């Protein structure tokens, strides 16, 4: 079944990339999409849902639903997070030398008692005999007494092969830890937790490296309110993955900084959960938004990504 709800907002770049210049609409919803990764001839993304949803496409236009990652919630998720029954949030996926690592949130609404879990798979092709999701357990947890919330993971392997994960929401903002590039788990149980960005309403970070900079995208505002959602995407950059991150005006993201990257426009309401994907050498930014033409339906979006001469990203919208 096609995910025609992958609305591409598209007439604005028909001349730039004709293959993606058709606007598609439909009734399949997707929320908190992960980074889009490629396995063989298919693109994959994962999303919030019971057991985690998966979707695939061969062209980034026509999308199909895949199998859920978990038929049954790992036992630790039920034991560790009271009230959670296998409805997992805001996953992210990264391809490493030993396969795909999928990070996901285990929590309940409005609670700092949360955990980020990890599942791995050597392939994303369900027809491959090696296909099997394996639960690897907890990456990091937060409790009531902690000043951070272990949700919304974003994993990135840098050019030196080191693996990092940004995460966090509200409380004291966006955090960063280093992961083991082989196991995908936290590099040490008590390894440093770095603070990257803070605002009263901040979450859904995305970390990327380009040129001499690391780029941190975050969401300001509130999600999950349909057409009343106030999400907007902000960005800063740093020469060190651990920060500090500054916006275009030089404001530190720990002190309210954040250059506006993508906001509500027309029927595209509350864009959030940015990530990058490359197709045939062209860069795009993926995200979700609430479709004002479909009663606020949660919809996957894709826009061309460009860069200024001094290295700041632009969404093309």
Q: Which of 32, 53, 92, 152 is catalytic?
A: 32
Residue 212 falls in the annotated catalytic set: no
Residue 203 falls in the annotated catalytic set: yes
Q: Which of 29, 53, 203, 247 is catalytic?
A: 203
Residue with tokens 């479909």: 294
Rounded Cα–Cα distance for residues 69 and 106 (Å): 14
Residue with tokens 């907002």: 9
Active site residues: 32, 203
């Amino acid at each position: 079944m096609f995910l025609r709800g992958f609305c591409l907002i598209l007439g604005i770049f028909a001349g730039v990339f004709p293959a993606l210049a058709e606007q598609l609409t439909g009734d399949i919803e997707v929320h908190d999409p992960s980074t889009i990764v490629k396995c063989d001839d298919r693109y994959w993304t994962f999303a919030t849902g019971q057991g985690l949803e998966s979707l695939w496409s061969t062209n980034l236009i026509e999308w199909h639903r895949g199998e859920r990652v978990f038929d049954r919630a790992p036992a630790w998720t039920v034991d560790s997070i009271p009230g959670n029954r296998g409805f997992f949030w805001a996953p992210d996926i990264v391809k490493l030398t030993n396969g795909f690592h999928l990070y996901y949130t285990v929590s309940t609404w409005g609670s700092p008692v949360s955990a980020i879990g990890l599942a791995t798979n050597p392939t994303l092709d369900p027809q491959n005999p090696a296909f099997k999701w394996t639960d690897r357990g907890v990456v990091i947890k937060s409790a009531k007494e902690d000043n951070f919330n272990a949700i919304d993971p974003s994993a990135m392997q840098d050019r030196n092969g080191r693996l990092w994960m940004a995460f966090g929401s509200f409380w004291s903002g966006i955090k960063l830890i280093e992961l083991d590039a082989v196991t995908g788990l936290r590099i040490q149980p008590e390894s440093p937790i770095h603070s990257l960005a803070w605002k009263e309403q901040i979450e859904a970070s995305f970390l990327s490296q380009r040129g001499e900079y690391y780029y941190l995208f975050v969401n300001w505002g509130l999600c999950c309110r349909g057409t009343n959602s106030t999400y907007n995407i902000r960005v800063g950059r740093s020469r060190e993955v651990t920060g500090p991150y500054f916006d275009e005006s030089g404001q530190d993201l720990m002190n309210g900084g954040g250059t506006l990257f993508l906001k509500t426009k027309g029927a595209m309401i509350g864009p959030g959960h940015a990530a990058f994907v490359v197709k045939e050498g062209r860069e795009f930014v993926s995200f979700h938004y609430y479709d004002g033409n479909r009663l606020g339906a949660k919809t996957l979006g894709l826009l061309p990504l460009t860069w200024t001469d001094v290295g700041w990203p632009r969404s093309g919208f």
